[in-house]
Amino acid sequence: MKILIQNVHAVDKNLDSVTDILIQNGKIAKIASGIDEPCDRVINGQGLIAMPSFFDMHVHFRDPGQTHKEDILTGCQAALAGGVTGVLAMPNTTPPVDSPEILQYIIDKAKGTGVRVYPVACITKGMKGKELTDFEELKAHGAAALSDDGKPVRNAEMMRVALKKAKEANMLIASHCEDLNIINGGIMHKGSVSEELGVKGMDRSSEEYITAREIILANSVQGKVHICHISTKGCADIIRTAKQLGVQVTCETAPHYFMLTHEKLRSRNANDRMNPPLREESDRKAIEEAVIDGTIDCIITDHAPHTQEEKADFEKAPNGIVGLETSFAAVLTALYHTGKISLQRINELMNINPRRILGLPRETIRVHAPANLILADLNKKWVVDVTKLHSKSCNTAFRDMELTGKVMMTISNGEIRYEYEEPKETKKPKKTRKES
Residue 81 and residue 324 in contact, taking contact as beta carbons nearer than 8 Å: yes
**What residues contact 77, with CB distance under 8 A and at least 6 apart?**
113, 390, 391, 418
Residue 262 and residue 279 in contact, taking contact as beta carbons nearer than 8 Å: yes
**What residues contact 272, with CB distance under 8 A and at least 6 apart?**
260, 264, 265, 278, 321, 397
Determine the 3-state secondary structure of 136 from DSSP. Answer: helix
Q: Distance of alpha carbon 123 from its chain centroid, rounded?
A: 21
Number of neighbouring beta carbons within 10 Å of residue 255: 26
**CA–CA gap between residue 115 and residue 124 (Å, rounded):** 27
Q: What is the number of helices (H) and of strands (E) in the chain?
A: 13, 18
> Torsions phi, psi of 81, nearest 5?
-65, -20
Q: Distance of alpha carbon 11 from its chain centroid, rounded?
A: 21
Query: Of the candidates 36, 32, 77, which has an alpha carbon nearest to the alpha carbon of residue 59?
Result: 77
- For the question of residue 71 being annotated catalytic, the response is no
Residue 242 and residue 266 in contact, taking contact as beta carbons nearer than 8 Å: no
**CA–CA gap between residue 305 and residue 320 (Å, rounded):** 7
* List 134, 179, 302, 385, catalytic entry: 302
Q: What is the DSSP letter of 433?
A: P
Question: Which amino acids are annotated catalytic?
Answer: 302
